[in-house]
Amino acid sequence: MRRRCCCLLLLLLALLCEPGRGGEPGPGAVTCGSVLKLLNTRHNVRLHSHEVKYGSGSGQQSVTGVEASDDANSYWRIRGKNDDTCQRGTPVKCGQAIRLTHVNTGKNLHTHHFPSPLSNNQEVSAFGDDGEGDDLDIWTVQCSGTHWEREDAVRFKHIGTDVFLSITGEQYGHPIRGQREVHGMNSPNHHNYWMAMEGVFIKPSMDPAKHDEL
């Protein structure tokens, strides 16, 4: 009996010492300042934006989902609610408030009370200039552990309106034929899971110069 208890204790200690266990971020933690692509795991498309405005609703820059993995307009930079709350290289915690800034246009992932053009859910747009928008650019990362890990499927819940970043498969016609509508949904479901894919990930280190290129 004593030997069995010792074995169980050693196993527990080994698990707690693994990277990412016991509240410590693992080597695959997503970090502030990283630039990445986000894949919707249900529909296998990446979060995307471009200098094409909605023809209805807010008229702001559109946000869509694209199948291509090599599209340069699918990169987003992870930033904090304000830059002081998300220092470069710091692992993003589950429940943390972040902004996602579109790299090529400098606009933030945004939503508001306008209907989306195809599904009549809540419109998701890209808003602001040079990374500066408003309070409707803020989302929380919903994940199951302590930190957002690259291999985890996560949700993004909008702080201002309580919707989840989602895709349900509706496709646009001209001029962005085949791209999928991105919108906000009121309920958590299989349409609003996202995973970190290609990108430049700043290592969780005191040295902000270190990064992984994938």
Dump the DSSP string for 18-63.
STT-TT---TTB-BTT-EEEEEETTTTEEEEEEEEE-SSTT--EEE
Residue 205: per-residue pLDDT: 58
Contacts of 160 (CB under 8 A, 6+ apart): 111, 112, 135, 136, 138
Residue 122: per-residue pLDDT: 98
Residue 147 structure tokens? 């930190």
Residue 11: per-residue pLDDT: 35
Residue 208: per-residue pLDDT: 45
Higher local confidence (pLDDT), 17 or 34? 34
Residue 145 structure tokens? 């552990």
Residue 141 structure tokens? 């990362």
* Tens-digit pLDDT profile for residues 140-184: 999 999 999 999 999 999 999 999 999 999 999 988 999 999 999
Across residues 19-31, what is the average pLDDT? Answer: 67
Contacts of 177 (CB under 8 A, 6+ apart): 171
Residue 181 structure tokens? 């509508």
Across residues 36-51, what is the average pLDDT? Answer: 98
Half-sphere exposure of 53 toward its Cβ, with a 13 Å CA cutoff?
7
Residue 153's DSSP bridge partners are none
Q: Which of 9-18, 77-86, 123-132, 142-151 has the lowest mean pLDDT?
A: 9-18
Q: Rounded to two decimals, what is the model's pTM?
A: 0.85
Q: CA geometry: angle at 198 spanning 197 and 201, to 5°?
A: 95
Evaluate whether 128 touches 180 at the Cβ level (below 8 Å). no
User: Alpha-carbon distance 103 to 42, whole Å?
Assistant: 24
DSSP state of 200: E
Q: What is the SS3 assignment for 131?
A: coil
Q: Is the pLDDT of residue 86 over 50?
A: yes
User: Alpha-carbon distance 184 to 170, whole Å?
Assistant: 13
Residue 165 structure tokens? 């970043």
* Tens-digit pLDDT profile for residues 126-143: 999 999 999 999 999 999
Residue 111 structure tokens? 């939503």
Domains and CATH numbers, the chain: 31-200 (2.80.10.50)
65 C-beta neighbours (distance < 10 Å), count? 24
